[in-house]
Chains A and B, each alone.
Chain A
């Protein structure tokens, strides 16, 4: 059997794990426990089946992206694997960039070909001059096909990307990378409530998750919490966006948290979880925003009884020159 990684083929002995085979060939993957507990050696299958054992205990969104554990994978067929997040590019053009509140632009981008992604994933956006930033995709695939890919862009005073987008003309050339991220909605995965908490433009991917849940007629309640440092950071407003309440039978609630008013989003998220009054295993939480606040919300939900396996988190990391 053959194992292909980064364009090179390695032989795989019967019964040998992918992790061991790669180590034998001098390719070291991160690993620790080697028995499927720590999940440090998680990689992605591009083609071929790593076998059911290799997917034990992984989150549903990781499974949908082809991830598996190299230490438990003993495939019985050829396998091509890749490290998480390798990149391919799609040419695109700017449709428009308009302010939607203080310091946030609603940017619409038209890719040259259909971009394959899950609602809630993020994508790299590059402009001429070699500047690249990561943004979450707000629009559902069907909306993107009609009106373009929607991104919510935080404007920084000297932002190499955001400042350029604010001034750029429609039609300006751009490039999009491969959509990535584990913070996405899976249709039909579970009927339980969704708890979506985001700070700043971290609410953008959660809006996509909420839109996808509604489009899927998700039976469980959808709770959105938008956190901001200051009141004017609530760029979607204090009330639930009308698009989320328009569909009949939708059970969407919207809560805002302003840090300067002494409102703590981690405590708010834990309170919303308690208010759902559901068994901890039935709720899924999606968190997005700055690393500090996402970490605090995640910890609060974990302490309130949620398993980390049910918490999907994307942390924003600011680029050197501003995102």
Chain B
């Protein structure tokens, strides 16, 4: 392989690309810089030294330095076994850097390609970023092209070398009937191979067995972006980046006293679940959902959600009309405290009598319900509510000592925790503390330190996080000083639609906040998350912000479709295909297997009698024939298109032959069958003269060639007598084996 040939340069670029994901995991960009430097320097060295590699002692010294670097990284830097794999990738990258300087033979190029492949494998083991996907895309296009070109050149080189050794001469291509064109045809081959490989790989990927892991390597992906949802049963504090998922959840319209509430500034806290038990970075709730019998006061009014003697005036309540999207959960959202519900389309309503969260057993897609919430803490309904919703559960959260100490210190600053009347003031103080500029709102807080409690890391070290960190910190601080508090998840905000007068709420509007129980006012809502951070970020519509959101979207899709693809995803995929296929069969049954469905499709519906079945099969056969014919027609059309888009020289060559002059092609074919092949460099006249001189039978060929010139270039037609003579000659040439061979 020639140094600095296109093959060589593409190999270096591909190897550098394959290094990217492995380098990205640990952020060792300086090592990547070294690799780029080595690639550039090697090009310079090989061009200046006429392809001579570096001296051997330099190579040995570099390898020794790489081994020393590996030992230092493995034993001096980290102590986690999984990091060793990253270290190994750094070592392999350094080896590749050294090998760049002696990439002279095909063997060297092959070794660098193998090193590149190893780096890709390690990246697959440790990386979860979409960078891996981008590199695969690069490998599939440029890499496949390079590989094909590389193997072709190597094969040719090997054969030529072998033949040179055997006979002292290389095989020679004497002539080709058409000139060889590398460009478009080669690109097509690369494209076809890449697409074929991609499809095969995806099929294998989807159908490979999953869930069999024994744990030798374990799951090594730590930083998979997640989408926070306001629907989940648990809240977990981890170091994953949060993705702003634009999936719609519901639409909601607010009104009070018949007047719609609109505008950008209005934002309600729409609750879904509450959590009051924290243990090692994980919140879990203890819902006590019981069926709620809908006992309507009259058919035209909504049903009460709490026991009350008479319905309150509807114009004093906040009306919320919900249109749920397909969310896959039975959660019913409402602003606290919901008191009335109109749920004609909701079945099996259940309610937690303590925190007033609601669920429905069967929610159809795009279900609709209306709920009314109390807006004031005065009146008999509010008093009853305070009584009913008094906290009854034991606090059993595991609160870290440092959090307790901080909370005690702060509580004393804001009031007396032993006095229940001051709980609200203390909670407000905690809220202000967390709202201060000491804490920063972010969706990418970075990795947690190993063995450190997430909330401790948030409060004392990192001081950055999203709403769940803020809410968790406040709830734990409250609970640690004896204030009843719980974490609430749900949705907050949304995008107001002027035309429809409703708020479109998406997954990215998921939020977590705090509810604190006060003696006089019951449960009050607190939001310790800095409001400015989130709202300011959401309003950022700059190009950079949009690009970043697009990258987030890409990363999220990569995570959900590829990195987190599991058995369940595959089942969903299969179910989707099954559902699609089921459209062909009316008597589709959900319980049927895939094979049975295909069988049904081929066999036809069971209700058919024999003659109907025969007709069905005939119809099916007709359908298959039509499909085949369609493909055939498409193929012919593609031939026409190919002819149209063919390059100029080819088109000219094809157009150049007049139909009347095609007899000459026929003559050439017949002569070739007798061993007289016309070399491309010989003109028709020279060819005819040579043959007519050598063979008595072919003397007439000179005349025919002249006729060919006349017809082809003189635009004349052959007379009937000439045609007759020509036909006789062609017939004799075809039928008489000896004709044309005699000298």
A binds B: no
Interface, chain B (partner A; CB < 8 A): none
Interface, chain A (partner B; CB < 8 A): none
